[in-house]
Amino acid sequence: MRIERIELRSLVMPLRAGFETSFGRVASREMVIVALHADRLVGWGEAPVADRPHYSPETASTAMDVLAHHMAPAIVGRGFETPGQLLDAIAFVRGHHMARAALEWAWWDLDAKRRGISLAAALGAERERVPVGVSLGIPAGDDLGALLAEVHRRVEQGYHRVKLKIRPGFSREPVAAVRERWPELALCVDGNGGFRPEHTPELAALDPFDLLFIEQPLAHDDLLEHARLRRRIATPICLDESLSSPAALDAALALGSLDVINLKSGRVGGVSAARSILRTARERRVELWCGGMLETGIGRAAHVALAACPGFTQPGDLSASERYYEEDLVEPAFTLDADGCLRVPDGPGIGVEVRGDRLERATRRHLVIEP
Ligand code: OSB
Ligand code: MG
């Protein structure tokens, strides 16, 4: 199927509520949306970048640049029968995983639509619904009352697992407060690389609270210190930022740096890389769940399909559209059912309709690449 045209859009989507991590607070999200056009079909992909290089070195500007000047020109006007062929065509680009992932997801969506099957079916999904969790930011002003009210609301909505963002000085208190009120809740925390090895006592103080895991407490590029920390605390360690590729997972397993994997297709460089990590996790029997980056419904649809595949052992950071945005880009929006699950779309490709008017309204830059 020959790719006739590639559209790149850089968007700004206002978040319904500010989201604070150890990096700081954001009020909106910037992402890049890729549309591949072929045979009157459109394949969609999302690069979950941000306005600033906090979580990863990529931003909306770097993704637009590398897609427009390097990746898209290598693909437009050509046909690809397999994702491997597509990836080979852009293999000369080093890094830029989120930009690469957006292109690969768009190809998978397009190919599934051409075959008349759902993305979930194309990926080998087995579930029709996926149980989901919610990731809660640090409350404004570190207000514990506000945090408890937010946890209450999400537990009432039916979320299966709650993740709290923590940073040095804001860890034991929020965890103790939530645990006291919800002794049975599936609970975990995420440090987003904000702690240092010197904070080991602060992290060890979380041991009594029966957390599922501590996610990425230490630096984004430090597998060795995570292995050391893992031997000093009882709470399991989950890695996010550090697992930048299948090779990084192999290294982390060899070093003993983790117990649990947060799988984000953007971070690891696409669908094929994500599936490779999923295979390794199944072979090695490592816990794994689907991470999120506050995606719009485009990225969410892809991740819901992926999370329906065998090997996801815990509810992920896949929440309903309303948790993020007043108005999602897709219809129908993703909603929680009575059991705290999202339904896996079964229509062709991502299985949800991208609303052109909403996409247009959120667009800040729009580039069209033609042969
Ligand atoms: O560390 O998992 C993270 C959001 C943006 C960047 C990094 C992270 C997150 C989240 C939110 O935790 C997950 C979500 O609900 O999409
Ligand atoms: Mg994380």
3-state secondary structure at position 263 = strand
Pocket test for ligand 1, best of 16, 21, 295 (most atoms within 8 A of CB): 21
Q: What are the tokens at 151?
A: 């946890």
Pocket test for ligand 1, best of 22, 293, 325 (most atoms within 8 A of CB): 293
Specify the pLDDT at position 241: 98
Q: Which of 9, 29, 37, 264 is catalytic?
A: 264
* Active site annotation includes 264: yes
The rounded Å distance from CA 16 to ligand 1 centre is 15
**Helical (H) or strand (E) element with 146:** helix 144-157
pLDDT classification of 38: cutoffs 50, 70, 90: very high
pLDDT in tens, 274-286: 999 999 999 999 9
Q: Measuring from atom 13 of ligand 1, which residue has the nearest CA?
A: 292
Specify the pLDDT at position 342: 98
pLDDT in tens, 129-158: 999 999 999 999 999 999 999 999 999 999
Matching CATH number, 122-343, of 3.20.20.120, 3.50.50.60, 3.30.70.260, 3.40.50.450: 3.20.20.120
What mean pLDDT comes out for the span 206-235? 98
Q: What are the tokens at 352?
A: 């949800």
Residue 69 DSSP one-character state = I
* Active site annotation includes 113: no
Ligand 1 contacts (CB < 6 A) are 55, 135, 190, 192, 240, 291-294, 317, 319
What mean pLDDT comes out for the span 103-118? 98
**Helical (H) or strand (E) element with 314:** none
pLDDT classification of 1: cutoffs 50, 70, 90: confident
Tell how strand 162-165 and strand 134-136 pair up: parallel
For domain 5-116+352-369, the CATH class is: alpha beta
Q: How far apart are CA 174 and CA 144, in angstroms?
A: 6
Q: How far apart are CA 263 and CA 73, in angstroms?
A: 29
Rg (alpha carbons) of the chain, rounded to whole number: 20
Let me know: does 366 contact 9? Beta carbons within 8 Å: yes
The ranges of the chain annotated as CATH 3.20.20.120 are 122-343
Pocket test for ligand 1, best of 317, 328, 334 (most atoms within 8 A of CB): 317
The rounded Å distance from CA 246 to ligand 1 centre is 20
The rounded Å distance from CA 215 to ligand 2 centre is 6
Specify the pLDDT at position 149: 98
Q: How far apart are CA 250 and CA 61, in angstroms?
A: 31
55 alpha carbon, closest ligand: 1
pLDDT in tens, 40-67: 999 999 999 999 999 999 999 999 999 9
Alpha-carbon 1 to chain mean position: 28
Largest CA distance in the chain: 61
Q: How far apart are CA 49 and CA 62, in angstroms?
A: 9
Q: Which of 9, 97, 154, 165 is catalytic?
A: 165
3-state secondary structure at position 38 = strand
The ranges of the chain annotated as CATH 3.30.390.10 are 5-116+352-369
pLDDT in tens, 177-198: 999 999 999 999 999 999 999 9
Q: How far apart are CA 358 and CA 183, in angstroms?
A: 42
The rounded Å distance from CA 353 to ligand 2 centre is 28
Q: How far apart are CA 360 and CA 340, in angstroms?
A: 31
Query: Global pTM?
Result: 0.97
pLDDT in tens, 237-265: 999 999 999 999 999 999 999 999 999 99
Let me know: does 103 contact 68? Beta carbons within 8 Å: no
* Percent with pLDDT over 70 in the chain: 100
Q: How far apart are CA 75 and CA 14, in angstroms?
A: 32
pLDDT in tens, 274-317: 999 999 999 999 999 999 999 999 999 999 999 999 999 999 99
Alpha-carbon 225 to chain mean position: 24
Ligand 1 atom nearest 319 alpha carbon: 15
